């Protein structure tokens, strides 16, 4: 059975269009609740968190109703980062965590994703079971079995303390001036406090959500705002999160942007683990550098859930994506932008060296990534001109570069990536493939 609603990061789409409508939210909550009970959980308790999108109110109410109708108790925490929901689900010994968020997407999109009792993303087989239950997710349990709902008023404070606990007690951020960009998202009331309480001087931007401005010209997917702020405030570093705060971008005082591949390399070189998990998109230079230092490197499918699955299968602890999703399983069960930033700052404080200095021996291969929005009905796999162009490009750069074609799991976009030692060659080949697809 193939998944109809779930993508690489839960259910996601445009608000007002199926499946991001209240009716589906109610059925999804009901179906997930029935699956929990079918697995022997007598009276499940589900935690629901969200980011700052205006549509979060609607979906929160729909999911709450669905879970209660299925006989589940509900704990509401309001705006909270995705990793905060994962942490509290585990810490409070609850049965399921639910996040209402479309991560880095604009406010008119939204989504729903789930976390297990252990605080990790659930596997495909669980999502398939929920989808199979959707057609029968109607009505409700008898009145005496209906669930109840309550609010957890100190959720933000609990999560702040957890984040701080991942930073060594004997170190401090005193003396550092940081710009923290919260993307007008779920960490707006959390991230600045974490870094401030550990001693840093904090300038917060992107911390005034209004329901419509999440990720708008701020955050991890729009780092220019952070670069400008770091320079304007003469800060040591800038930290950018995305809408649900599970990814990280870092900027130094000179305006240099460090991507997830570079941060993963730094963490690996500091920790020297047996192995590291990246993705199909991870820069080839990182793979070669880690292998030269005796570390095994494995590529998973794109998506932090697949990185996590590979880490768990191999018993490893460190993995990540170039987009800034970093997994440090000795610190948290899922990707956490705040926790990852703290680990990078720990490295800076402990070594007394800048990130740029620590990266002096790594030269990334140029990559050109083109996102092509697919017209409705276009089958890129059978597109003759595109297939021919791809064959020609792959033949031309064989042995020196690589081509990666993959559809987005969250939107109707085809991602074309060309990696090559010559930046102009990578750009030219990517644009050639884009033109062929749209011809």
262: CATH:
3.40.120.10
17 pLDDT above the threshold of 60: yes
pLDDT confidence bin for 135, thresholds 50/70/90: very high
Residues 207 and 263 reside in one and the same domain: no
Residues 71 and 121 reside in one and the same domain: yes
Alpha-carbon gap, residue 93 to 229, rounded angstroms: 40
Q: Reading across the β-sheet that carries 10-14, which strands appear in turn? A: 6-7, 10-14, 109-115, 96-100, 45-50, 73-79, 149-151
Residues 343 and 314 reside in one and the same domain: yes
**Which domain covers residue 372, as residue numbers?**
367-437
Domain assignment of residue 45, yes or no: yes
Residues 34 and 142 reside in one and the same domain: yes
Residues 392 and 417 reside in one and the same domain: yes
Query: Which domain-ending residue is among 229, 256, 283?
Result: 256
Percent of the chain surpassing pLDDT 70: 99
Q: Poorest-confidence range of 248-252, 374-378, 404-408?
A: 374-378
Give pLDDT tens digits for 256-279. 999 999 999 999 999 999 999 999
Residues 48 and 106 reside in one and the same domain: yes
341 pLDDT above the threshold of 70: yes
103 counts as catalytic = yes
| pLDDT average, residue stretch 364-381 | 91
pLDDT confidence bin for 201, thresholds 50/70/90: very high
Residues 149 and 28 reside in one and the same domain: yes
Taking all residues of the chain, what is their mean pLDDT, rounded to a whole number? 95
| pLDDT average, residue stretch 64-85 | 98
The count of structural domains within the chain is 4
Query: Rounded to the nearest 10 degrees, what angle do helices 155-165 and 82-91 cross at?
Result: 90
Domain assignment of residue 24, yes or no: yes
Alpha-carbon gap, residue 191 to 247, rounded angstroms: 13
Residues 146 and 13 reside in one and the same domain: yes
| pLDDT average, residue stretch 30-50 | 96
Domain assignment of residue 1, yes or no: no
Residues 131 and 204 reside in one and the same domain: no
Instruction: Name the residue among 71, 118, 70, 76 with its Cα closest to residue 99.
Output: 76
| pLDDT average, residue stretch 387-416 | 89
| pLDDT average, residue stretch 157-173 | 98
Residues 127 and 34 reside in one and the same domain: yes
Q: Poorest-confidence range of 103-112, 244-253, 297-306?
A: 297-306
Supply the pLDDT for residue 410.
66
Domain assignment of residue 239, yes or no: yes
Domain assignment of residue 208, yes or no: yes
Residues 349 and 385 reside in one and the same domain: no
Supply the pLDDT for residue 287.
92
1 pLDDT above the threshold of 60: no
Give pLDDT tens digits for 92-109. 999 999 999 999 999 999
Give pLDDT tens digits for 217-230. 999 999 999 999 99
Supply the pLDDT for residue 10.
92
CATH number of the domain at 379, please. 3.30.310.50
Supply the pLDDT for residue 9.
86
Percent of the chain surpassing pLDDT 90: 89
Q: Poorest-confidence range of 127-131, 190-194, 303-307?
A: 303-307
pTM value is: 0.90
Residues 282 and 371 reside in one and the same domain: no
Domain assignment of residue 17, yes or no: yes
pLDDT confidence bin for 375, thresholds 50/70/90: confident
Name the catalytic one among 2, 18, 61, 103: 103
Supply the pLDDT for residue 423.
95
């Amino acid at each position: 059975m193939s998944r109809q609603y779930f993508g690489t990061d839960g259910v996601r789409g445009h608000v007002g269009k199926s499946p991001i409508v209240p009716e589906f939210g109610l059925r999804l909550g009901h179906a997930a609740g029935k699956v929990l009970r079918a697995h022997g959980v007598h009276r499940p308790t589900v935690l629901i968190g969200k980011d700052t999108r205006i549509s979060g109110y609607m979906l929160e109410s729909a999911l709450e109703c669905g879970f209660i109708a299925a006989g589940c108790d509900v704990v509401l925490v309001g705006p909270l980062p995705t990793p905060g929901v994962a942490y509290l689900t585990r810490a409070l010994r609850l049965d399921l965590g639910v996040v209402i968020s479309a991560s880095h997407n604009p406010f008119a999109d939204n989504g729903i994703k789930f976390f297990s009792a252990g605080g990790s993303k659930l596997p495909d087989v669980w999502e398939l079971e929920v989808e199979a239950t959707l057609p029968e997710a109607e009505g409700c349990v008898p009145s005496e079995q209906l669930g109840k709902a309550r609010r957890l008023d100190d959720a933000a404070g609990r999560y702040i303390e957890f984040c701080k606990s991942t930073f060594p007690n004997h170190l401090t951020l005193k003396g550092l001036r940081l710009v923290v960009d919260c993307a007008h998202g779920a960490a707006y009331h959390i991230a600045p406090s974490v870094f401030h309480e550990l001693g840093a001087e904090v300038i917060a931007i992107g911390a005034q959500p209004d329901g419509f401005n999440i990720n708008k010209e701020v955050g991890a997917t729009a780092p220019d705002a952070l670069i400008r702020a770091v320079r304007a405030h003469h800060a040591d570093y800038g930290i950018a999160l995305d809408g649900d705060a599970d990814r990280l971008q870092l900027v130094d005082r000179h305006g240099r942007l460090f991507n997830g591949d570079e941060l993963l390399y730094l963490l690996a070189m500091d920790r020297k683990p047996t192995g590291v998990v990246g993705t199909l998109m991870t820069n080839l230079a990182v793979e070669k550098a880690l292998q030269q230092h005796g570390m095994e490197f494995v590529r998973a499918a794109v998506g932090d859930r697949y990185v996590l699955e590979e880490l768990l299968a191999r018993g490893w602890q460190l993995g990540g994506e170039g987009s800034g999703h970093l997994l440090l399983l000795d610190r948290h069960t899922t990707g956490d932008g705040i926790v990852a930033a703290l680990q990078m700052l720990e490295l800076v404080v402990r070594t007394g060296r800048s990130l740029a200095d620590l990266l002096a021996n790594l030269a990334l291969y140029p990559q050109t990534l083109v996102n092509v929005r697919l017209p409705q009905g276009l089958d890129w796999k059978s597109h003759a001109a595109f297939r021919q162009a791809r064959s020609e490009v792959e033949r031309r750069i064989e042995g020196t570069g690589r081509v990666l074609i993959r559809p987005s799991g969250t939107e109707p976009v085809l991602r074309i990536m060309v990696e090559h030692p010559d930046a102009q060659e990578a750009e030219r080949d990517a644009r050639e493939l884009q033109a062929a697809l749209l011809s």
